[in-house]
Every structure is written in C-alpha cells, then in structure tokens.
Structure 1
Amino acid sequence: MSNRRYIRFRLNLSYDQYLAVYQGHAKTVTTLSDDGRRVVFPAGNVQRYLTKSGIQGHFEMELTEANKFVSIKKLA
C-alpha cells in the first residue's frame, strides 16, 4: 500500500485571472501551502471549481508517495 501525501492551500483567483489559462497566457497555478511550501500545478486541476467570481477557497491536494497528482478537493 502506497503512502499518500496531502497539501492544503488557499486560492483566491478572479475569473479574469483564471481566464488567462484559456487565452494561453497561463498554464499553471502557483500558491503557497498552509505550511509555507510553494505549490505549482496545472490550472486544469481546479477548473471544476471555477464560478463567475473565480476560484476561491481552501483546498487539499492528494499526491502519491512519488509526488504524482491524485486529486484536489475543496474543503468546507
């Protein structure tokens, strides 16, 4: 059984900031985790959370032991 790693972080992206992804200006999201680490991941990983006001909230990313992406969920 492999160990999973979890990184928690907050996002506060406006709709226009996220729109840059579709215009080809941005492909990744960069943020800081709750414990201060820099986190960079493909913007498409949070696309399902996009609303008219953008993407806001507290999220948890699940990674494999080898730091491969598994999932992202929005925390309550």
Structure 2
Amino acid sequence: MKRFEFVLSISSQQYLQYYRGSVRQVVAQSTTGATVQFPAALLTPFVTTAGISGRFVLTCEESGKGAELRRANL
C-alpha cells in the first residue's frame, strides 16, 4: 500500500468547482514532496461551511486503485 500525508486548505467557494464537476481531480503535495492526485469525490465527507481544511492521509494500492482518504491523527 502507498501512503501519502498532506495538508489541504480549500475554501467553500473553491470547493464548488469540485462539487459542480468542473474540476474532478485534486492535486496536492505530500509532506515528503511527492505530488498526489486523487478524485475530488473523496473529499465530500470532510466538507464544512468553511470548506476543507486539515491534514489528511491518502492510502491506495501500488497501482493507484482503491484510494481511501481520512483525516490524519495528530
């Protein structure tokens, strides 16, 4: 399994682009410097009225399939 940790700060206005489908992929830089790309739909459980903010962990198979996103435990 691959594991990527990163910080996101997406305003509610910015998230509307993902919600409306005009943007389908999120690109973030992991804490190790790797570029991570994943489906915006994975963010849905983390949306608040202020948007999305915090440290997250993305795990997936080596092939990139089966991606799961969760908040990082600090």
TM-score range, shorter chain: 0.7 to 0.9
Q: Which runs of 5+ in 2 are unaligned?
A: none
1:72 has 2:38 as partner: no
Percent sequence identity over matched residues? 30
Output the amino acid matched with 1:70.
A
Cα distance change on mapping 1:66 and 1:23 into 2, 3 Å: closer
1:51 has 2:48 as partner: yes
- For residues 36-74 of structure 1, what are the alpha-carbon distances to aligned partners after superposition, in whole Å with 9 as ceiling and x for unaligned? 111111100111000000000000011112221331110
Instruction: Report the Cα offset of residue 23 of structure 1.
Output: 2.5
TM-score computed with the length of structure 2 as normaliser: 0.88
Q: Which runs of 4+ in 1 moved over 3 A?
A: none
Q: Which runs of 5+ in 1 are unaligned?
A: none
Partner of residue 13, structure 1? 10
Matched residues, number: 73
SS of equivalent to 1:69: coil
Could you say which structure has the larger radius of gyration? 1
Contact conserved, 2:5 with 2:72, CA < 8 A, in 1? no
In structure 2, distance between residues paired with 1:12 and 1:69? 24
Output the amino acid matched with 1:50.
V
